[in-house]
Structure 1
Amino acid sequence: MDLRSLAEIEDIGDIKKRIIAKSSKLFITQGYNKTTIRRIAEESGLGRGHLYYYFKKKENILLQIYKSFLEKIYKYIIDNHTLGSSTLVSYAVSQYLYTNIIVNSDALFRIYIEASKVDIIRKEYVDILIDLFDEKVKESEYDFSERDIYLSVTIGCAGESELLNRYYEKSIDLTLEEIIKSIITTRLLLLNIDSDSINKIIDETMEIVNKIDIKDIKTIEEISTFFS
């Protein structure tokens, strides 16, 4: 590969980062639904045709943000040696942190609620979670079937969305911790994990997350530097 090709690749990476940063700020200030591709292109200093070269749809930008957000959480867990005794504990810790950060950031929670009502985003979000879970499981002692993983993530996401939408609307008599434990339990049950093991996983998860200062993990308000 010549120097020109390398420069072009670096330029593409920089432009995508700029699009994500500008989009994130717009999603925060205007909301996801009110942010248009035209406005994203303008803020990014691009024409709409040029923007489409990097992201075909507005949904793809949001999905990239979610994916990077989840990867940041996984990296935080690894870097801080809070993996716990198994991959499933790490998975549960990730779910707890992810949900907690979303709910405790007004901007991020609002974006999550808006996005949860868009069919294509729900579907692609499930695919992202399945891919991330597959990647982590390959490094573990577990051997889950594709069917179990699909059911766990798909049904788990549907339950997560319903519970968090009700929590957002203040129409459910559950604490955030109870909701998160319910989400984790559902996903593990659908992986055919027995109840005693699930209780141990949740107990260990709570021991870990109670030692973590959520403020140490960057939130959507810092999105312009979050993906740098």
Structure 2
Amino acid sequence: MSSNKKVDLEEEIIKKSFNLFLVNGYEKTTIRQIADAVGIGRGHLYYYFKKKEDILLFIYKKILNKIYELISNHDMNDTELLLNYAITQCLYTYTIVKYENLFRIYIEASKVPVIKKEYVNILIDLFKKKATETHYKVDEKDIYISVAVGCAGEEELLRRYYNKDIELDIEDIIKSVISTRLILLNIIEKKEVDEIVNNAINIANKLDIDGFLDSFDIFLHKI
């Protein structure tokens, strides 16, 4: 099989899988259903993705990379790592919450241990890559603690928000999650954290989030 055909088939697997996740939910979608939807055997599917979890993690990476791409394409006076990191969290959370089916996938997937673990690893790798572009000397241990604790808090707050079991709005949740992550990095003071969080939310809102999410909706249907 040519490299172009391999890429095309991989994209088709992702597209069909995501559609099944949206319609049936992540938990109820099986590898057999995905293979049938694509029109290939399970053995052929395993050549590309060993597990259903791998497909969802691939989609998470696409989402985060799309957000990073959006941020990098906008001129900002302060392009420090921490501010971009905070803006990314804003847009990521707004994206999940806007799409009900995507929000459901997030809630279902957050119950799967391997996905929780790998999701943390994805964010750690992204942050470490960005950290090399700045003057900050961030300890790898603090990066892990920051992301792991931040993800746990994010999951709990968003789950309660999804179930309408918490009296917080999305901006409250975003502020809490970002502040926790930045404080646990142990590189700036609380006052600076507050300034970054507020600045990130203001910048995210000026980026025309609704317009971004509309384009992201097209993106979701194309992956």
Please give the TM-score of this superposition, normalised by the length of structure 2. 0.94
Structure 1 residues 32-181: aligned runs within 5 Å: 32-82=26-76, 84-181=78-175
- One-letter code aligned to 1:137: A
The Cα shift of 1:45 comes to 1.4
The Cα shift of 1:34 comes to 0.9
Query: Which residue of the partner structure matches residue 216 of structure 1?
Result: 211
- One-letter code aligned to 2:28: K
Comparing 193-202 with 89-98, greater Cα deviation is found at 193-202
Q: Could you say what secondary structure the match of 1:81 adopts? A: coil
- Return the alpha-carbon distance in structure 1 between the equivalents of residues 100 and 219 of structure 2: 13
- Return the alpha-carbon distance in structure 2 between the equivalents of residues 28 and 165 of structure 1: 18
Structure of greater relative contact order (alpha carbons < 8 Å, 6+ residues apart):
1
- Return the alpha-carbon distance in structure 2 between the equivalents of residues 179 and 185 of structure 1: 10
- One-letter code aligned to 2:193: I
Determine if contact 1:77/1:83 at 8 Å carries over to the other structure.
no
Question: In percent, how many aligned pairs have the same letter?
Answer: 52
Query: Which residue of the partner structure matches residue 4 of structure 1?
Result: none
Is there any run of 5+ residues in structure 1 with no aligned partner, and where? 1-6
Is there any run of 5+ residues in structure 2 with no aligned partner, and where? none
Rate the CA distance shift 1:83–1:167 in 2: closer, same or farther, 3 A: farther
- Return the alpha-carbon distance in structure 2 between the equivalents of residues 62 and 89 of structure 1: 27
- Return the alpha-carbon distance in structure 1 between the equivalents of residues 217 and 61 of structure 2: 13
Determine if contact 1:18/1:44 at 8 Å carries over to the other structure.
yes
- Return the alpha-carbon distance in structure 1 between the equivalents of residues 40 and 93 of structure 2: 34
Report the RMSD for the aligned CA atoms in angstroms.
Answer: 1.4
Q: Could you say what secondary structure the match of 1:91 adopts? A: helix
Show CA shifts across 1:106-147 (max 9, x none): 011000000001111000100111111111111112110110
- Return the alpha-carbon distance in structure 2 between the equivalents of residues 38 and 81 of structure 1: 46
The Cα shift of 1:15 comes to 1.1
- Return the alpha-carbon distance in structure 1 between the equivalents of residues 24 and 143 of structure 2: 36
Comparing 72-81 with 58-67, greater Cα deviation is found at 72-81
The Cα shift of 1:221 comes to 6.6
